[in-house]
Amino acid sequence: MRLQKHGGIFTSVNPADWIRHWRYPNHLMLAVPWPVFFALIAVGYLLLHLMFASLYWLDAHGISGVAGPATSFMEAFFFSVHTLGAIGYGALYPSTLFTNLVVTLESLVGLILIALITGSTFSRFSKSKARILFSDVATVHSYNELSTLMFRVANERRKTILDAGIRAYLAIDECTSEGQRMRRLHPMTLNRDCSPLFLLTWTVMHSIDQHSPLYGRTPQELTTSQADIVVSFSGIDEILDRPIHAHHNYPLSQVLFGHGFVDMMQEEDGEGQRFDFANFNRTYSCPSVEPS
């Protein structure tokens, strides 16, 4: 067993855990990528026909219309394909009780599998996926005479997200009075943590005051404690009317002290303001702000 850091939290990674995923095939079929999803269906389809072809092959004279005196394995395989797909070309047909029983069993299994595959495919297509972009870095600089942590969030689809909410936590290693080292999550109060409508971008801010878990901590101390900023986003897709979720984390190496984000609203001569998404990740130095 080994530990893997994910989202600022250390979790155990055991090879046996992957084997246990097969105990929950519905979750597995929804969680794997699309290429793996279709590959699993193809492999299952092939194995199913190989199994039923072996059963048909046991009765050498159970299928009529074959080319030779006895049924070959290839003919049994394609007879299974015809049966499961209800193709019914009429060239091959069962002629014994055993083969008819196997045909009945395969037809029943086919009905169940088609229903399950159809349901899994529909669930994958209908599953809401958050197209939320997080800025590459977070910044810390003075805002209204108070040190403030900032990062940006963008709606990639440009479709309205309802009841959008953001939560941020400081994930940090701490030692108890008994000397035990633990990974803890400290909530970070945001200047605005919800929005009734989220369409374009959102600059999330956390004031580093006496109530902040970052208050009084130096970058060196945060580095030693392997600090991360863990962010979670939730909302409702206006079109699908379903909840969406996204998450991101900023290790301390992606937190720029003494930097600020470039304004995305740019002035144009005689034309007012223009929204420039190219500035989403751009930052500038604030020399007057000390990293500590």
Give the pLDDT confidence of 122-132 residue by residue, as tens digits: 888 877 677 89
| Tens of pLDDT, residues 116-173 | 999 988 888 877 677 899 999 999 998 888 889 999 999 888 788 999 999 999 999 8
Rounded alpha-carbon distances, angstroms, from residue 174 to 186, 208, 224 = 11, 20, 10
Question: Between residues 207 and 175, which one has the greater pLDDT?
Answer: 207
Distant-in-sequence contacts of 188-197, Cβ < 8 A, 24+ apart: 188/149, 188/212, 188/213, 188/214, 188/229, 190/166, 191/148, 193/165, 193/166, 193/167, 194/163, 194/164, 194/165, 194/166, 195/164, 195/165, 196/162, 196/163, 196/164, 197/160, 197/161, 197/162, 197/164
* pLDDT of 4 strictly over 50: no
The token pair at 275 is: 């929204």
Average pLDDT over residues 57-72: 86
The distance between the two most distant Cα atoms of the chain, rounded to a whole number of Å, is: 93
Which segments of 1-137 are extended strands (E)? 2-6, 9-13, 63-64, 93-94, 132-134
Q: What is the pLDDT of residue 270?
A: 63
Q: What is the pLDDT of residue 86?
A: 83
Q: What ranges do the domains of the chain cover?
A: 2-126, 132-285
| Tens of pLDDT, residues 199-251 | 889 999 999 999 999 998 888 888 888 899 999 999 998 887 888 899 999 99
Q: According to the CATH classification, is domain 2-126 in 1.10.287.70?
A: yes
> What is the pairing mode between strands 9-13 and 93-94?
unpaired
Q: What is the CATH number of domain 132-285?
A: 2.60.40.1400
- CA distance linking residue 207 with residue 149, whole number of Å: 6
Rounded alpha-carbon distances, angstroms, from residue 52 to 38, 98, 103 = 21, 12, 9
Predicted structure pTM score: 0.66
Integer distance in angstroms from the first to the last C-alpha of the chain?
38
Helix, strand or coil for residue 154? strand
